[in-house]
Amino acid sequence: MTDRPPTVLTGCSVLPPMTSSKPPADPPPKATGAPPTKGKGKPKATGERFTELNAFVDCSMADLARAELATWLVLWRDTRNGTVRTSAADIARRIGTTRRAVTNALAGLRKRGLLTLVKRGGINRGVSVHRVNPRSPPAN
């Protein structure tokens, strides 16, 4: 078996293996242009998204119930331009639970600081808008 550097996906970077002191073979290529955006804000690079996911796994995931964990992951995946608009019914269908469990999970995530309510939805108002945070704010 030969020691080959790990394969790097375009737009991503990897850490070298723990046992090897060699750096990755080539740095990932830089993006030539950003995709057009409709809303405010700039789309995040793939590396920034994985940094957020790593921060969530390392700092926040251990304290969450299954419904909270699955809800956060669905919302994180659906985030566009910094906010997410996914209904509780859609999240429930995708994670295989009830809408009430998702509503409770959303409340728990907001309480922990992992979600910020930007706009509350409802009948004749549409879906709620949230901002997904990878880690809870430090306790004062």
pLDDT tens, residue by residue, 19-61: 545 555 555 555 555 444 444 555 667 778 888 888 888 888 8
Any domain includes 33: no
**Residue 9 DSSP SS3:** coil
Range from 26-35, 77-86, 95-104 carrying the lowest mean pLDDT: 26-35
Residue with token string 């002191």: 21
Q: Is the pLDDT of residue 95 over 90?
A: yes
* pLDDT at residue 52, as a whole number: 84
Any domain includes 22: no
**Residue 43 DSSP SS3:** coil
CA distance 121 to 102: 15
* pLDDT at residue 111, as a whole number: 94
Domain that holds residue 75: 66-132
* pLDDT at residue 29, as a whole number: 55
pLDDT higher at 9 or 70: 70
Any domain includes 76: yes
CATH number at residue 80: 1.10.10.10
- Distance of alpha carbon 132 from the chain centroid: 7
Distances (CA, A) of 56 to 14, 74, 95, 127, 132: 18, 13, 19, 25, 10
Any domain includes 41: no
Please tell me the total count of domains within the chain: 1
Q: Is the pLDDT of residue 93 over 80?
A: yes
Mean pLDDT for the chain overall: 77
CA distance 123 to 95: 24
pLDDT higher at 94 or 8: 94
Confidence grade of residue 106 (pLDDT, cut at 50, 70, 90): very high
Confidence grade of residue 2 (pLDDT, cut at 50, 70, 90): low
